[in-house]
Structure formats: C-alpha cells, structure tokens
Copies of this chain bind each other. A is one copy, B any other.
Amino acid sequence: MKSDLDALMEARGLDGLIAWVEEVYSPPVDYLTNGARITQGLVIRKRGAEPLLVANPMEVEEAAKSGLDVVTLTDLGFYDLLETLKDREQATVQAWGRALERAGLSSGTLALYGTADVQKAVALVRAIESALPQYHFFAETGINARDLFAEAYSTKGDDELRRLRSVAARTDEVLQATWDYIASHRLDGERVVDSAGQPLTIGDVKRFVRRALLDRDLEDTDMIFAQGRDAGFPHSRGEESAGLVSGLPIVFDLFPREFGGGFFHDVTRTWAPGYARLEVQDIYHQVMDAFDVAVESYRSGMATKDMQIAVMDYFEGKGHPTSRSTPGTSEGYTHSLGHGIGLNIHERPGIGHLSPDHFQPGNVITIEPGLYYPEREIGVRVEDSLYIDASGQLLPLTRFKKDLVIPLKKLGE
C-alpha cells in the first residue's frame, strides 16, 4: 500500500527513490502522481517527505494535476546546461543532481524505478555514480530479492480498489457483448457464419472486442482468443484469419486496462460454439472443479503455494501431468494458478507451488486453473479476478457467467 513506502524504503536502506517515465507508460510514476498523464519526467521521493515531480515544461499543466510539487527542466536549468555542455547525458546528470538537491537529497543511497529503456537506465546510473559520487544506487539483488514497488502494489487501498472494481464491471459488460455477438451467428456444418453465410473469423471477434472495450474507455493489451490446437498453447494469441468452428474449445483470455495505461482486469472464459465434444466437456468440468478446489482451499493469511498445491493434487489425482510432477511440461496443467493484478498485469502475490508469498487483505488476484492438450485440439482455462477484503475474506471481482457452450442456430433456421 502507498502508506508502506517509507517502511519499504527504510528496509532497503534507501534515502530516496526516483521513478522515471520516458515516453512509455511507467507504473511507478502513475502510482506516485495519482494518475497524471506525464510522458517524460521523474518523481523523486525522499524518505519521509512529499514527492517532487520533475516535468518537461511542455507538460506543466498535466503535471499540476498530480497535486505534487512540480519543478520543470527549465527551472533546473537543463536547457542552459545543454547549450553549455553540448552533451545530453552530462546535462541530464547535472539536472538530475539539481533535482535531487531540490528534493532534499544532497547525498545518499537511491534506487531507480520505472518502465523505460534499460540501456539508458544502466548508463545513467553509471554516469551519475561517476559524476556525482555523493549518490550511490541500490539495486534489488540477492536471494529472493523483492522489489519495493512490487511490495507496495501487492496490497491495494480504497482508491485503487474503486478503480479496479470499475474496470471489472466494464470488462463484464464486454464479455456479455462478445457472447451475444457470437450467439447472433449461425452454424453451417462445422463453421460459424453470419446470416449471409460468411465465416466468422478470430480477427472479426477481436475487432469487435476492441471496439466494445474502447466504448468503455478500456484498451486491449493483446487478448488471447484461440481455438483448438492453438488454445492448447496457453499464450498463443490465436490466428486472425482462422474461422470459428463448432465443438472445439476457445480460450478467451481478456486482460484490458484503463485506456492509456492504468489498472487491469484479468478474466478467462472457455467457450465452445454450438456444442462441446464429450472430451472437451470432461476436461472443462475438471477445470471448473479445480477452480472450486482453489477457492475452497482459501484461508485468511495462508501461504499462496498451498492453494496451488491443492489444485495440483486434484489434477494429478485425475491423471494429468503438472509443472510439479513434470517440470516444464507442455501438456496437462502447465502454469501457476494465479497472480496479483493492479497497474501491472502480473503483480504479487504469485500463486505458484514455489511462491514465498502469503495472502493478505488488500490483495487483488487471479485464480486461473487450466488443462492443455494441443495434440488433441484441447485447451481449457477458467479465470476470475478476486480480492481479499479487510476482514480477510476472498470475494469475486469478475461476475460474468462461466458457461461453456454458446448456443447457435443452424444457417437458414
């Protein structure tokens, strides 16, 4: 939680931290600026003090929306430094040094965070340590290193939960709209077609979903919509040109976020157009049972790995290989049970059989058991997002139904 940041910094011996954004959406800057849309800049946070936002003068109006103290690169003399030094790196180093002074950090141990160009990051850290030896950069390394922001993100405050609920509700609407869209089609033999007999392709469905998301100020971050053999590879996106067919399972894994970057939702449904083959029904029911096994195994404060172990015990009891019984297997139950979600699609806690995490109030997580047999054209996964309330109860965020078969009329009916 944000209120943990001072303690998390102290535990790592950090006097200050720098969150960096440079054209690419950078979660820690969103986190510290309360969602202001800054595309270039720094947030410097001295331990125990209010953060300082260093902004490009072109973004000063957006920067003000953060509610933070703002200083621009012009205020710091960056452009004069550029003229004098004629070197962008040295001007940047000197400007960052001035910004650190403004934030009350005249020396000490710092750490750099954000999503950005890693080559520039490594170079900047070395250049600052060389030109401004009063600063030392900490890196989160060593046995089971735990990232400071990852720790903070893992428990959500009320403001964050409110945004996550809103994304969840809008995602539910998109699932219903997509179900209805497919259900408005027809079967022509094995093929799913429109009323004029034209095949419905995966590309058509994805375009429909993306528009439905946009209409609700959400954006797709590369959904999975894959059928048959492709569904058997958990991360295959699906072939745009492939037409939907009846009987075989479609894995539809949707993980949209607030438009332009922000909070995610994460949900998977497995759908069979028209009907499901018997073998598909059987696998589907086992995955649904595994979902229930996971939820029923939950106890407040438990080790997350025990939930995955309960699911692995269940699947192995049904004769499926798992990544515990057969490390690296690409058949059976091949992945972890779930993960936290927030400003990143994968956050803590992890729910794998080797995870060191425990469930805590404020966690927002996915539970997503699945079974994969690509050579038999089968992949099935069912996933909800859930949260743990202040009293330790596990409650659903996703509300959409978990039906397998989308009923379809025959062409001409």
Residues of A within 8 A of B (CB): 20, 23-24, 37, 39, 56-62, 72-74, 78-80, 82-83, 86-90, 111-127, 130, 137, 139-145, 147-149, 207, 210-211, 214-215, 219, 222, 230, 233-237, 260, 323, 327-328, 330, 334-335, 344-346, 354
A144–B88 touching, CB < 8 Å: yes
Contacts of A214 in B (CB 8 A): 207, 210-211, 214
B147–A74 touching, CB < 8 Å: no
Measured CB to CB, the closest approach of chain B to A177, in angstroms, equals: 15
Measured CB to CB, the closest approach of chain B to A2, in angstroms, equals: 18
**Chain B residue at smallest Cβ distance from A38:** B235
A334–B58 touching, CB < 8 Å: yes
**Chain B residue at smallest Cβ distance from A89:** B145
A142–B89 touching, CB < 8 Å: yes
The answer, among B73, B83, B120, B327, for a CB contact under 8 Å with A80, is: B327
A87–B37 touching, CB < 8 Å: no
Contacts of A330 in B (CB 8 A): 57-58, 60, 74
| 22 residue pairs A–B, Cβ–Cβ below 8 Å | A24-B115, A39-B222, A57-B328, A57-B334, A58-B234, A59-B236, A74-B327, A78-B328, A79-B328, A82-B354, A83-B327, A83-B354, A89-B144, A89-B145, A90-B143, A112-B119, A118-B118, A120-B147, A121-B121, A123-B139, A214-B214, A222-B260
The answer, among B86, B112, B118, B344, for a CB contact under 8 Å with A114, is: B118
The answer, among B117, B123, B139, B145, for a CB contact under 8 Å with A141, is: B123
